[in-house]
Amino acid sequence: MILSALLTSVGINLGLCFFFFTLYSVLRKQPVNVVVYAPRLLHKEKEKSEPREDEFVLERLLPSTGWVRQAWDVSEEELLSNLGLDAVVFMRIFIFSLKAFAFAGVVGMFILLPVNYVGSQLEIDFADLPNKSLDSFGISNVNNGSNRLWIHFCAVYVFTGVVCYLLYYEYSYISSKRITFFYSSKPQPHQFTILVHGVPVSAGNSVSEAVESFFTENHPSTYLSHVVVRRTNRLQGLINDVEKMYRRVVHLKSETQSSQRVKREGFLGLFGRKVNLLEHCEKKLEELEDTVRLEQSSFAGEEVPAAFVSFKSRLGAAVAVHIRQGLNPTEWITESAPEPEEVHWPFFSASFMKRWIYKLIAVIAVIALTILFLIPVVIVQGLANLNQLETWFPFLKGILSLTVVSQVITGYLPSLILHLFLSLVPPVMIMFSSMQGYISLSQIEKSACTMVLWFTVWNIFFANTLSGTAFYQLNVFLEPKNIPKVLAEAVPAQASFFISYVVTSGWTSLSSEVCRLFPLIWSYVGRLFAGKDDDDFDVPSIPYHSQIPKILFFGLLGITFFFLDPLILPFIVVYYALGYIIYRNQLLNVYAHKYETGGKFWPIVHNSTIFSLILMHIIAIGTFGLKKLPLAASLTVPLPVLTLLFNEYCRKRFLPIFEAYSAESIVKKDKEDQNDPSISEFYDKLVTAYEDPALLELRRSRRRDGHTSPLLHDA
Amino acid sequence: MILSALLTSVGINLGLCFFFFTLYSVLRKQPVNVVVYAPRLLHKEKEKSEPREDEFVLERLLPSTGWVRQAWDVSEEELLSNLGLDAVVFMRIFIFSLKAFAFAGVVGMFILLPVNYVGSQLEIDFADLPNKSLDSFGISNVNNGSNRLWIHFCAVYVFTGVVCYLLYYEYSYISSKRITFFYSSKPQPHQFTILVHGVPVSAGNSVSEAVESFFTENHPSTYLSHVVVRRTNRLQGLINDVEKMYRRVVHLKSETQSSQRVKREGFLGLFGRKVNLLEHCEKKLEELEDTVRLEQSSFAGEEVPAAFVSFKSRLGAAVAVHIRQGLNPTEWITESAPEPEEVHWPFFSASFMKRWIYKLIAVIAVIALTILFLIPVVIVQGLANLNQLETWFPFLKGILSLTVVSQVITGYLPSLILHLFLSLVPPVMIMFSSMQGYISLSQIEKSACTMVLWFTVWNIFFANTLSGTAFYQLNVFLEPKNIPKVLAEAVPAQASFFISYVVTSGWTSLSSEVCRLFPLIWSYVGRLFAGKDDDDFDVPSIPYHSQIPKILFFGLLGITFFFLDPLILPFIVVYYALGYIIYRNQLLNVYAHKYETGGKFWPIVHNSTIFSLILMHIIAIGTFGLKKLPLAASLTVPLPVLTLLFNEYCRKRFLPIFEAYSAESIVKKDKEDQNDPSISEFYDKLVTAYEDPALLELRRSRRRDGHTSPLLHDA
């Protein structure tokens, strides 16, 4: 790629970004779009029953930058109180990356880039600047054996030091935030509750009796109550049916013309005798509700050998979690309970062995998917080429023969297919994660986040770098000795690809994030065809498992190319700066938090950054070797070792804080509770907090609009 | 090696063994040797003050087999009550190995050996049996691509299954023994006590105050008392001096001629004025004791930020160990306390970082020693060859020119040097282990045991197999793909070496174990020259860290050569059968247990066996590949995977039992204590149980023989 081509691409993408931002600033002001662009705020207002003003002013049609200022002005405390610690940690990724790459950018652009540019290894004729190949800005242009490479060597050391310092600072900052957050939290059910798996049941006893007798025996002073888990998949399905039917009844009632309520009974409502549709639906709804009640009452039998056990103090729960309970380590397995709202009910597999085997299968499936992902994609891309399409759809022949069309198809179809497949990955990983027997949504998302991250690194970084067959790639990793050399040869060659990847994929993903094009179109379609009203909207939760890997991957690119081709750094800085504003805006307006992990996503960020650093070091060793500076290569070897030691120190110093709270803080909170008069009320709530929602009594409550609703009894 | 040579060697070694056993059966009956052959029994009798009869009967000079019957007759319960669970576990290694290799021996000798023998791959001419090469009994003699190799394939699968079943059985047997042992134990200080490291001390506060306030704050209901650790290396040295001096005084007093008590003051007692030696020594002893007392009283300042904290219940201690205590994970680090007698006082390094760095250095040192051990050995062996000796010691020239002498030197000197170096390894590993910051002798020995095991496997198995330079060996492990092929080529070639290794080194080590030649000679020397009397003897502790690796290494040889060269199996069965009797005898008569880990050595045995199995599988894959049976090679691949899964299951099912006791059992024991009237007395003892012996008051007490002794106040 030459410089002018890069600049053109940058210009086009920058223009597109600003176009989308302008579009967004107009669209967001239309009241009709408020369900797309500010569902969180809308939901909050609804709760407070504040009506929204809908008057039309001209200003609504003018683009403005008010949202940028708004997003910029939010303080971390506001973010924390509105969206919890996870959102703060999410934003810290941007702050950390901005700091790191601001430093890297200055070093790269003002020291490394000039050094590379004056090299003459590539023997590019001194033509005018715009036609220069991008390679002349990379390390490949520095002459072999040149002492200038020591500048790169120093840069690698200094940059590693700076990143490690920033990592340490962030880890310590977020740790202290986490502890403060815990200290300021009110008593919450999950702090007092554990989940116990693998309850051994002797003949003639129920699970409930076994749990009761075990915990009154072994934790007499702290045990409070328990709730046995039941298998409710089928019941949950029925309840979903009830809710669907209920919505339909409500919808039918709200429609003014009663004529529409009459429909024929038979196929597609076209044949058979006419019935009053509303009456028909209401009758069906009642039938369904009866079935649910019947199921619920006859459901005592299907107990799973697992239970939520609540304690009178946090320390009681901590003791039960941290000390092995039963004589047999595969029985009475305990873990901390998640928040009641985020319990993943569908999957409570019975035995220790089953959980373990499922976990194994999931791990194998993820590895297989990650390694072999490209094979089906390449095949499908091959099938979707021009000739194949002509064979399948002969009527397209005319259109396909047009040059423009064929260019678009050959140019964009493969990339489109790749992106389609890629967008399927996060949901698939969520599926695999939930197979692993995690009991909470947050654990599932955290696990999926890690998986998607490694998937991205493998399939975008390594698969692009080590072009060739999948088997060849595997071969490289079976011969560890050659890795530095292979990477040092392959990675710099892909510099221009990754620069344009940052500019296109990175920047575009940000503008599509802010514009929310799919939800926007979906909302219009819903309103036009399905007759959905504004009351009927979901507040999306922050999709950590798909966003964090994407953001971290650009960090990996920045770190690995820092000394290879510093030209990538300004684009990455721009990405993080834009991302900082846009995600703050989205967190404020769009997303709500469904659960609170207390910052448990940060260790993933830390580990990923350490991995990027090590990868950079390995490439550096290979590069100095290839550049005939073996001394520099040898002197780089201690760097990954030191980095790993630093990582090990952080694991010991900070990671335990993210795994569990200390006795000191637990006891302090427990003592506060003892002086709290409302604690007995809390205990009453705690006893029923972990009832399976599917087993709660179906209740019809009058809503303010007068409809009857099969709400679930929730207190 | 040919068969007749092997048989000769077996005959010689068998003869030697029986000679030593006969010698032992005579020597052990001499009253003068009782301190060598039955120090444990002697110690027990001394405690009970039973006098030993010394009458001479002729029978004393006749060899007998009574000791074999005696050793055979001991039941596991007796072993358990006399020597604790560790000794039982130690004997289970023999029982497990005997079972496994009895099966392997039958399969190997009656199925695999005939199959190998009728092969014709090696084209050895059908000479008479005695002159046949041992190779014709190995798998190398089976024709390439022959379907008979499927018999080996099945044998590998069946043998793995049998070994895994036996491993599972033993693990479960020992686990249940461990739990029973805990249930039947009396309240012991270490069950109620933890060690806390990294006590943060604010200015103006002492460590003791910090510990006191932290535990009364966070464990108000269970905290009992604490003892701060102090740096006492120098004091310990002084106390050792006092004891040495005291012994000298006692010795001088017991000597009858008072003339010997007079000695000159000056150099070597030859010049200067005459003094009464006894008076001189007694004066010195008193001076030393005064210094010790002064040191002890002025010692309040040198506190280490660590303390032994005792609790009122086992559960209290378990809570403090299993839940992270302080906000900062590098402070208030807790671990279970060892038994008071086995605390390793000398090493209490101050900070978290220091401990961690020491650990790292020790690990690196062990790895370096393990990998590079052979280099200095080979060099020293080179220096000690014939020509070198002649250059150094010209006067030996005459002797060295004799054929017999030169043959002995060239034949035995290198092997002697290797054995000398090898015998240095266990003490060196103990030194490295104690550097790692372990606080108890048992932890140090356990860690040293693992290290010595890997050292043995690397330096005897791999270094012999992969002959060549150390760097070449390392190279193999950098190319994991080639490992099976390299091993499959190299290992079978060493079959006859390892067979003679079992016969010579294995059997000989057993007879030297039973005869205790070094302690025997030492005791004679002591009695003749140093005038030691029979009262002055040590009961040795079981040297697990040097014995277990030796025993396990023969298991590794048996497992890896099982299908390669089954001829090794009978010799290994003989080794284990002899070992079973001999070690039972030694445990009964010689060794005492200095500590009780409750069977924590078993996981090492389990892991080592799993490693041997995986090694066998890797060699099998390589061998089937070399033998042109790629299908068998591929079908063997699942075997290591299944074995690892089995191991993973065992880790989950049994390992936690060996790491800590469960809440269920702890609470049960605590409840028993509540009904025990003697518990308050125990609490009183507990408070002072972990005083550093160096800080206890020096006290002169009258022993029954009338000597005054600077005994340490111990209650």
A663 contacts B360? CB cut-off 8 A: no
> What are the pLDDT digits (tens) for A69-112?
888 888 888 888 888 899 999 999 999 999 999 999 999 999 99
pLDDT band at A707 (very low <50, low <70, confident <90, very high): very low
What is the dihedral angle through the alpha carbons of A479, A484, A485, A487, rounded to the nearest 10 degrees?
A: 100
Residue type present at position B499: I
Residue of B nearest to A322 (CA): B322
What element of type H or E holds A702?
A: strand A698-702
Q: Is the C-alpha dihedral spanning B526, B528, B532, B537 positive or negative? A: positive
Which among B320, B360, B481 has the least Cβ separation from residue A478? B481
Q: Is the pLDDT of residue A299 over 70?
A: no
The residue count for chain A: 715
Q: For residue A86, give how far its alpha carbon lies from the nearest alpha carbon of chain B (Å).
A: 20
H-state helical runs in A373-504: 374-383, 386-392, 397-400, 403-435, 441-456, 463-465, 470-478, 483-493, 495-501
Q: What percent of chain A has pLDDT over 70?
A: 84
Which among A315, A325, A360 has the least Cβ separation from residue B664? A325
Interacting residues of A373 by C-beta distance below 8 A, sequence separation 6+: A421, A425, A455, A459
Interacting residues of A650 by C-beta distance below 8 A, sequence separation 6+: A167, A168, A171, A606
- Tell me which of B515 and A555 has the higher pLDDT: A555
Residue B352's pLDDT is 67
**How far apart are alpha carbons B93 and A467 in whole angstroms?**
52
B322 contacts A653? CB cut-off 8 A: no
What element of type H or E holds A224?
A: strand A223-230
Which among B326, B656, B666 has the least Cβ separation from residue A329? B656
Residue B309's pLDDT is 93
Closest by Cα among B357, B544, B369 to B448: B544
Neighbours of B220 (CB within 10 A): 10
Residue B186's pLDDT is 87
| Burial environment of residue B591 by CB neighbours within 10 A (0 to 12, 13 to 18, 19 or more) | buried
* Chain A environment of B662 (Cβ under 8 Å): 323-327, 329
Q: For residue A560, give how far its alpha carbon lies from the nearest alpha carbon of chain B (Å).
A: 25
Place of tokens 């298998």: A231
Q: For residue B657, give how far its alpha carbon lies from the nearest alpha carbon of chain A (Å).
A: 7
Residue of B nearest to A178 (CA): B327
Q: For residue B698, give how far its alpha carbon lies from the nearest alpha carbon of chain A (Å).
A: 40
pLDDT band at A608 (very low <50, low <70, confident <90, very high): very high
A217 contacts B327? CB cut-off 8 A: no
DSSP, res A256: S
- Tell me which of A351 and B582 has the higher pLDDT: B582
Q: For residue A659, give how far its alpha carbon lies from the nearest alpha carbon of chain B (Å).
A: 10
B327 contacts A323? CB cut-off 8 A: no
* Chain A environment of B360 (Cβ under 8 Å): 645
Which residues on adjacent β-strands are paired with residue B263? B275
Which residues on adjacent β-strands are paired with residue B193? B310
**How far apart are alpha carbons B494 and B165 in whole angstroms?**
29
Q: Between helices B568-589 and B39-48, what is the axis angle to 10°?
A: 20
Residue A263's pLDDT is 55
**Interior/surface letters B608-646, b for 16+ CB within 10 angstroms, e for the rest:** bbbbbbbbbbbbbbbbbbbbebeebbeebeebbeebeeb
| B703: its two tokens | 């022993």
> What are the pLDDT digits (tens) for A176-222?
999 999 998 888 899 999 999 888 888 888 888 899 999 999 998 88
Range among A500-504, A510-514, B281-285, B579-583 with highest mean pLDDT value: B579-583
Q: What is the DSSP string of A290-358?
A: HHHHHHHHT-TT-EEEEEEEEESSHHHHHHHHHS--SSSTTSSEEEE---GGGB-TT---SSHHHHHHH
Which among B479, B653, B662 has the least Cβ separation from residue A479? B479
DSSP, res A124: -
**How far apart are alpha carbons A556 and A549 in whole angstroms?**
10
* Chain B environment of A356 (Cβ under 8 Å): 649, 652
CB B569 within 8 A of CB B104: yes
Q: Is the pLDDT of residue A64 over 80?
A: no
**How far apart are alpha carbons B250 and B700 in whole angstroms?**
13
**How far apart are alpha carbons B200 and B307 in whole angstroms?**
12
Q: Which residues of B touch A (CB under 8 A)?
A: 179, 214, 217-219, 315, 318-320, 322-330, 332, 352, 356, 360, 478-481, 645, 649, 652-657, 660, 662-667
CB A197 within 8 A of CB A352: yes
- Tell me which of B52 and A454 has the higher pLDDT: A454
Interacting residues of B367 by C-beta distance below 8 A, sequence separation 6+: none
Which among A328, A478, A645 has the least Cβ separation from residue B480? A478
B663 contacts A325? CB cut-off 8 A: yes
CA distances from B360 to A699, B38, B185, B435, B450 (A): 63, 41, 36, 10, 16
In this prediction, residues A36-44 reach a mean pLDDT of: 78
Residue B709's pLDDT is 43
| A702: its two tokens | 């009058």
The residue count for chain B: 715
B327 contacts A660? CB cut-off 8 A: no
pTM above 0.95, yes or no: no
Indicate which of A194, A664, A668, A670 best probes the interface with B, i.e. most B CBs within 10 Å of its own CB: A664
Q: Is the pLDDT of residue A619 over 90?
A: yes
Q: What percent of chain A has pLDDT over 90?
A: 26
In this prediction, residues A57-73 reach a mean pLDDT of: 77
* Chain A environment of B324 (Cβ under 8 Å): 656, 660, 662-663
> What are the pLDDT digits (tens) for B106-137?
999 999 988 888 877 776 555 566 667 777 78
CB B557 within 8 A of CB B501: yes
CB A224 within 8 A of CB A311: yes
Neighbours of B490 (CB within 10 A): 18
SS3 B573: helix
Q: Is the C-alpha dihedral spanning B495, B500, B505, B506 positive or negative? A: positive
Neighbours of A643 (CB within 10 A): 22
* Chain A environment of B179 (Cβ under 8 Å): 327
* Chain A environment of B332 (Cβ under 8 Å): 664
CB B318 within 8 A of CB A321: no
* Chain A environment of B319 (Cβ under 8 Å): 315, 319, 322-323, 663
Which among B352, B479, B662 has the least Cβ separation from residue A324? B662
Residue B384's pLDDT is 63
CB B544 within 8 A of CB B86: yes
**Angle (nearest 5°) at CA B189 between B183 and B191:** 45
CB B250 within 8 A of CB B530: no
Residue type present at position B699: R
Q: For residue A390, give how far its alpha carbon lies from the nearest alpha carbon of chain B (Å).
A: 44
H-state helical runs in A627-654: 630-636, 638-653
Give chain B's residues under pLDDT 50: 469-471, 700-715
* Chain A environment of B481 (Cβ under 8 Å): 478-479
B656 contacts A327? CB cut-off 8 A: no
**How far apart are alpha carbons B692 and B695 in whole angstroms?**
5
* Chain A environment of B331 (Cβ under 8 Å): none
| SS3 sequence of B265-298 | CCHHHCCCCEEEHHHHHHHHHHHHHHHHHHHHHC
Q: For residue A358, give how far its alpha carbon lies from the nearest alpha carbon of chain B (Å).
A: 13
What element of type H or E holds B639?
A: helix B638-653
Q: Is the pLDDT of residue A248 over 80?
A: no
Q: For residue B170, give how far its alpha carbon lies from the nearest alpha carbon of chain A (Å).
A: 15
Residue of B nearest to A356 (CA): B649
**How far apart are alpha carbons B298 and A688 in whole angstroms?**
61
**How far apart are alpha carbons B217 and A668 in whole angstroms?**
9
* Chain A environment of B328 (Cβ under 8 Å): 653
Supply φ then ψ for residue B53, to 5 degrees: -85, 140
B323 contacts A322? CB cut-off 8 A: yes
Residue B710's pLDDT is 45
Closest by Cα among A622, A643, A491, A511 to A575: A511
* Chain A environment of B356 (Cβ under 8 Å): 649, 652
A218 contacts B664? CB cut-off 8 A: yes
| B318: its two tokens | 């378990």
B327 contacts A179? CB cut-off 8 A: yes
Which among B326, B654, B663 has the least Cβ separation from residue A662? B326
Which residues on adjacent β-strands are paired with residue B700? B710
Q: For residue A376, give how far its alpha carbon lies from the nearest alpha carbon of chain B (Å).
A: 26
Residue of B nearest to A213 (CA): B664
